[in-house]
Amino acid sequence: MTRLLFLLLLLLIALPARAVEPSEQLPDVRQEQRARNISRQLRCVVCQNESIDSSNADIARDLRLAVRERIRAGDDDEAVLGWVRQRYGDFVLLQPPLNPSTWPLWFGPPALLLIAGTLLVLRARRMQPVDPVPLTQDEARRLAALERE
Query: CB of 71 within 8 A of CB of 28?
Result: no
pLDDT greater than 60 at residue 98:
yes
Q: Which residue has the higher pLDDT, 82 or 3?
A: 82
Domain ranges of the chain: 13-97, 98-128
Looking at residue 66, its pLDDT comes to 92
Own/partner contacts of 146-149, CB < 8 Å, gap of 24 or more, are: none
15 band by pLDDT with thresholds 50, 70 and 90: very low
Q: Which residue has the higher pLDDT, 20 or 32?
A: 32
* Crossing angle between the packed helical segments 58-72 and 77-88, to the nearest 10 degrees: 140
Give the CA angle between residues 58, 20, 81 to the nearest 5°: 75
pLDDT greater than 80 at residue 22:
no
pLDDT greater than 90 at residue 18:
no
Mean pLDDT of 93-109: 86
Please give the share of the chain, as a percent, with pLDDT higher than 70. Answer: 86
Q: pTM of the full predicted structure?
A: 0.59
Query: CB of 135 within 8 A of CB of 143?
Result: yes
DSSP secondary structure letters along 49-77: SSBTTT--SHHHHHHHHHHHHHHHTT--H
Burial of 44 (0-12, 13-18, 19+ CB in 10 A): buried
Please state, in angstroms and rounded to a whole number, the distance separating the CA atoms of residues 20 and 133: 69
13-97 fold:
Helicase, Ruva Protein; domain 3 (1.10.8)
Looking at residue 19, its pLDDT comes to 61
